[in-house]
Structure formats: C-alpha cells, structure tokens
Amino acid sequence: MPKVVHIPRARVRRRLHQVILVLFCAGILGCTALVGAAWLNDRRINQDRGRALAEVTAVSLTRTTVEFQDEQGVFYSPPTGLLYPTDLGVGQRVWVNYQRSHPELVKVEGRQWTLSIIPATSSALVITAIAALLWWVSDRLTRPPEETAVNSSDQT
C-alpha cells in the first residue's frame, strides 16, 4: 500500500504564490519589452531613415503588409508587416519610413513608439488583475479548515 504524504497547506500556498509572482513578473517584463522594442525599432529607423510611398497590400489581425520602392528602385514587401498599422485598408497609399540598411523595418510616417504604451499598459492591467485573482483563489483553496468542533463548556 503506497504511503500517503501530507503536504502542509502553508507550503502549498507559498509555492502557488511563488508561481503566480514568477508568471506576473514575466508578463510585466513582456509589456516592458513591447515598449522597449518599439523604441529601439524607431531609433534604428531614425538613424538611417528612408522615405517612400507604399501601398497597403493586405490587412489581417496579426499584420498589415505594404509594398514600396526604395530610393534605388528596388521593391520591398516586408514579410513581418508594417509597424503601427492601425486604421489602414487594402489599396490605401501611405508614406512610410524605413531603415535604409534594412528595408524590412518599416513604419507609417508620423507614427512612433509611444503608440505602444497604451496596449502595453492595458496588458499590464489585465495581467495584474489575473494575478490578483489567482492569488485570492490560491489563498481560498489552501486556507486551513475552520474549527468546527464546539467546546462543550460553551453550551449552556
């Protein structure tokens, strides 16, 4: 017959809290990286900027692709899509800025990394709410059983 191991509830609660904290920190780090990566991409484009008129060729939930011609007459259609593509439609023509040394890095002219702050902040708020809910649930599930026995001297 296998031996039953009793793990104290406090230990389980502590481990659950540690897991929740690690996942919370990873989520917040991802939100920070979202803003940081946008800032770095804008910086790279601004250091070696090219400008072109692009045509929007496809719009999906995950990316908006464009086609443009660089200063040497070479056509590009970056497979990763366009940075800051909101409110664009297929067939629309927009001015874009791209990194001359790496034309696959392209953004809509006039838009910048600060547009990433709102989605990152809203994601951080959702992550915080989920972490708080999980923390509360882990406390509720691992709390010690309440005293149910009534002391006989209390009954009169």
pLDDT in tens, 14-62: 999 999 999 999 999 999 999 999 999 999 999 999 999 999 999 998 8
Least Cα distance to 33 among 99, 105, 120 occurs for: 120
**Domain boundaries defined on the chain:** 9-144
pLDDT at 54: 96
The mean of the pLDDT values for the chain is 90
pLDDT at 143: 82
Average the pLDDT over 139-154 and give the result.
64
Q: How far is CA 118 from CA 65, 92, 109, 125, 128, in A?
A: 23, 25, 19, 11, 15
